[in-house]
Amino acid sequence: MRYIIFDIETQNLFQEVGSNDPTALDISVVTAYDSGTDTYTTVTIDELTTLWPIFEHADALVGFNSNHFDIPILNKYYPGDLTQIKSIDLLDEVKKSLGRRLRLDTIAEATVGAKKSASGLEAVRWWREGKIAEIKKYCEQDVKVTKKVFDYALTHGHVKFKDGTRKREIPLDTSHWLIKEEVAMTHSLLF
């Protein structure tokens, strides 16, 4: 099964747009890892259409808080409907098992010893300062960290987090993750 692990960065913040609706935000950079080609593609908003063929070949979209943040924002730009592709939102899976949300950094550090290299706030600042290479590097690092967590969860059936001084496991039902689902996908391109 071919899956895409992805992350987006935005040009602005919720408090600036006066809404908690992700679709009120604007994309700056997107990174997508394609399991079918084992490649990373990182683009700015001006190159976004480059990603559509990659997403349209996916059997699943994988992200962290992607169902509630990344996919709604991307759908604002996509000519079809990305919600028609199977979604594996690692944050949703953690919340379903643990009963609460955790940050990607918290899970990644305890599970695979990896950390994000910056924050979304810094990425917005970099956008305004024209530091596009920094945002691309940060976004790609986020996808690499998410991929490590995803791969670990697939292999072990859990992820970890630090609870005080000890690590705890969060069991995840990954049995359905790599099962291909038939969906009515609306493609933006002819194949």
pTM of the model: 0.92
Q: Tell me which DSSP letter residue 31 carries.
A: E
Q: Domains in the chain, please, with CATH?
A: 3-171 (3.30.420.10)
* Model pLDDT, residue 188: 52
Residue 40, pLDDT above cutoff 50: yes
CB < 8 Å & 24+ apart, contacts of 159-166: 159/90, 159/94, 159/107, 159/110, 159/111, 160/107, 160/110, 160/111, 161/102, 161/106, 161/107, 161/110, 161/111, 162/106, 162/109, 162/110
Q: Among candidates 11, 19, 16, 14, which has minimal Cα distance to 48?
A: 11
- Per-residue pLDDT averaged across 88-111, rounded? 95
